[in-house]
Amino acid sequence: MPLTGVLRPGHCAIRVMEMGPALTHYVERLGMLKVGEDAQGRVYLKAWDEHDAFSVVLREADAPGLDYLGFKVASTQDLDRLEAALRAHGCAVERIPAGELKGCGHRVRFQIPTGHQIELYAEKDYVGTLTGNHNPHPWPEGLKGMKVCRFDHCLLYGPNLADTADLFMNVLGFSLSERVVTPDQQMVGAFFTCSNKAHDIAFIEHPEPGRLHHASFLLNTWEEVLHAADLMSMHDISIDIGPTRHGITRGRTIYFFDPSGNRNEVFCGDYTWYPDRPPITWETEQLGRAIFYHDRKLNENFLGVVT
């Protein structure tokens, strides 16, 4: 896991149907910070422990879902190298100029076989965290709601998972940390990491392209997950499932919906990934335990509702 190439998820651009309720949800309830907006009406958010200028971009639209997911790379040299590799792989690549997103350098956007738009960038304005870097306290006072620490990952649904896995592993340099396979060993779920987290992006095979299952935000402890659950009940936020534990990634989690119907997750805990570790394999016969380790039962709403 050298600190070159793709480093981590950097931002997700989410479509919402009404900006007012969306801001109440993401700022007052999740506890993100509103850091700006632009002439297009897009609103920029970051979590308190994120150093870069933003990690979530909200855009008002007629339907919910994901516009694109961005990953930060280590340098402009890495960005140029990966752009050339994507073009050689046959991807249609678009260069988006610096400043199209406020505070972000030029981006390289491409469509992956699942139908999602992914982009890479090397530069984004550094603004620091609320605790600073000099004799910092462990957390800042005055945080709201669930007090999420960072945007962590997305789970995406779409077709052509095998081709997508090839792209992420052999072009972008991700590792496969976990997979779900059918009895004939066809991979129908894949979890990829570009760091030492259990996953930085995940996919489920699905006939409709370009679908968002959830955008996930990190908390520090199980107690904070339970506190988030209390807030969801207190403010009548629609809960999908949890609090519970995953078998896949070992995360302790709760899922819920924003006012537009986009699914969110807050979670804590996983394991440390190193590149010499073989991927974990889950069989579809054990999918109930893999997804919801405690009750070991599949939830059709959780599996089927996407935006």
What percent of the chain clears pLDDT 90, i.e. is strictly above it?
A: 84
pTM value?
0.96
Q: Which of 11, 116, 199, 206 is catalytic?
A: 199
Is 50 designated active site?
no
**CATH class label, 150-304:** alpha beta
Is 116 designated active site?
no
pLDDT tens for 127-165 read 999 998 999 999 899 999 999 999 999 999 999 999 999
Q: Does domain 6-121 have CATH number 3.10.180.10?
A: yes
Is 89 designated active site?
no
Is 153 designated active site?
yes
Q: Which of 26, 44, 157, 255 is catalytic?
A: 255
Q: Which of 119, 178, 205, 265 is catalytic?
A: 265
Residue 254, C-beta contacts closer than 8 angstroms, at least 6 positions apart: 225, 228, 229, 232, 239, 241, 242, 243, 244, 265, 266, 267
Q: Which is nearest to 30 in space by CA: 256, 302, 214?
A: 256
pLDDT tens for 47-85 read 999 999 999 999 999 999 999 999 999 999 999 999 999
Is 141 designated active site?
no
The boundaries of every CATH 3.10.180.10 domain in the chain are 6-121, 150-304
Range scoring the smallest mean pLDDT among 2-16, 49-63, 221-235, 257-271: 2-16
Q: Above 80 in pLDDT, residue 29?
A: yes
State whether the Cα torsion 247-266-22-234 is positive or negative. Answer: positive
Q: What is the pLDDT of residue 2?
A: 53
Is 137 designated active site?
no
Q: Which of 44, 178, 214, 224 is catalytic?
A: 214
